[in-house]
Amino acid sequence: MRGEVLIEPLTDEPDAVYASGRRVFGGTSESPMDEAPTLTVIETRPFKDGLLVRFEEIGDRTAAELWNGRLLFVPEDELTPLGEGEVYQHELKGMTVELSSGEVVGTVADVFEVPQGLLLDVARERGTVLVPFSGEIVVDVDRARRVVRIDPPAGLLE
């Protein structure tokens, strides 16, 4: 009724990203952020598995419904800097996946979030394979080289 938007936060810091007064940008993963509409957070409250967020620019339910299925972004330079070995989820797509030996497995075609964590959809010469993005399998992520190095258990890549 008040134009609140239900958000599924894809961040480790939802309290900071959706803090009162914070600005976010709406759009799609393909749209440039400098052309995206700006939304300013008024209020945020927990709701089920997400957040209900009220924005200055969205005054009623009809306006809020226009935001269904859209993504909200924050400029990377406004986020807490990543620690050693950390990577933003959106950076994984397009990264090369290689074994610890250096042998190339393929390229991350997509990333899926499942209850158990993230799955990398790795495109290979012959089809794709799903690789769990977990500490047991992912040895290292080199953001500069755009490489995910893995040590998969036997049979995972077959």
Q: What is the CATH number of domain 5-78?
A: 2.40.30.60
Cα 62 to Cα 51: distance, rounded to the nearest angstrom? 19
Strand 23-27: give its sheet, edge to edge.
Answer: 5-7, 50-55, 38-47, 23-27, 71-73
Give residue 109's pLDDT: 96
Tens digits of residue pLDDT in 62-117: 999 988 888 888 888 888 888 877 888 888 999 999 999 999 999 999 999 888 88
Task: Work out the pLDDT band at 29, boundaries 50, 70, 90.
Answer: low
Question: What residue segments make up the domains of the chain, in order of their start?
Answer: 5-78, 89-150
Residue 27 has pLDDT above 80, yes or no: no
Superfamily name with CATH number, domain 89-150:
PRC-barrel domain (2.30.30.240)
Work out the mean pLDDT of the chain and round it to a whole number. 89
Residue that wins the pLDDT comparison between 44 and 32: 44
pTM of the model: 0.71
Q: Of 49, 37, 35, 29, whose CA–CA distance to 94 is shortest?
A: 29
Residue that wins the pLDDT comparison between 85 and 44: 44
Tens digits of residue pLDDT in 9-18: 888 889 999 9
Cα 66 to Cα 68: distance, rounded to the nearest angstrom? 6
Give residue 32's pLDDT: 55
